[in-house]
Amino acid sequence: MRWDRCRCWSNCATMPAACWTAKREETALKRPSVLVIGYGNPGRLDDGLGPACAERIEALALPGVTVDADYQLTVEDAAAVAQHDYVVFADASLDARAPFVFAPVQPLAEITFTSHSLPPGAVLAFAHSMFDARVQAFALGIRGYRFNAFGERLSPGARRNLAAAVRFLAETIRFNRFAEYADPRQKPSTKEPRVVMGLTAADLN
C-alpha cells in the first residue's frame, strides 16, 4: 500500500483518509450560512458581552457568516434568522458557569408579548411560522459580573470569558461542528430551555 503524505495544514505524515485534521478541513469546506446575533446594552458594563462577541466574530471575516448586534431581540430579527442554516444568539449571563454556556434553542410553542423585546425561542418560533424556516438555533451565554453601573467597558473576568467564547464559536463555525451540540430530540417548548452545556477554559485547550 502506498503512503502519501497528508497535505493538511498540520503537514502530518498520515494517510489523508486517516488524518483527523484533513477530515475537519473537508467538513469546513461545506460551509453552511451562519447568523450571529449579539444583543445587550454596551453602556451597562458586562451587559455588552453579546455585542462585543458579535464585533469580534465579525472581525474574523469568517466565510458564510453574517453578524448583527442590537440592544434586544425583536420580531424583525425573524426574517434574518430565516435566511440562514444556523443562528447563534450571544448574550451576557448573570449566573452561567464561567466562561460561557452553549446549548440549542427551542422554538416556543406559545408566545406572549410582554414588551417589544423577545427571547431567542420566540424569534425562532416566528422564523418557523412566518417563513417556514427550519434554521437551527443556539444560545451562547457569556458569564458577566458587573451590570449595575453605567460605562462602556467590560470587567476583567468578563473579558477573559469573552475571549474563550469567541475562540469556541469561531472553531465551531470554521469546522461546522454545530451538529455536535444540537439535541435531535428537541420539541417546541412553552419556556426557554435551560442552557445545559458549560465549558471551562481548560476544555478549549
The CATH number of the domain where 159 resides is what?
3.40.50.1450
Model-level pTM?
0.75
Backbone angles phi, psi at 18, to 5 degrees: -105, 0
- Domain range enclosing 82: 32-204
* Mean confidence (pLDDT) of the chain: 81
> Where do runs of H (alpha helix) occur along 82-184?
120-131, 156-174
**Residue 142 domain-assigned?**
yes
Number of domains in the chain: 1
**Residue 171 domain-assigned?**
yes
Tens of pLDDT, residue by residue over 112-148, are 655 557 999 999 999 999 999 989 999 999 999 999 8
User: Considering only 58-67, 174-183, 184-193, which range has the smallest mean pLDDT?
Assistant: 184-193
Q: Are residues 38 and 52 in contact, defined by beta-carbon separation less than 8 angstroms? A: yes
**Residue 1 domain-assigned?**
no
* CB neighbour list of residue 104: distance below 8 Å, 6 or more residues apart: 136, 137, 138, 139, 181, 182, 183, 186, 193
Tens of pLDDT, residue by residue over 16-62, are 455 555 555 554 456 799 999 999 999 999 999 999 999 999 999 99
Residue given cell 448573570 in the structure block: 94
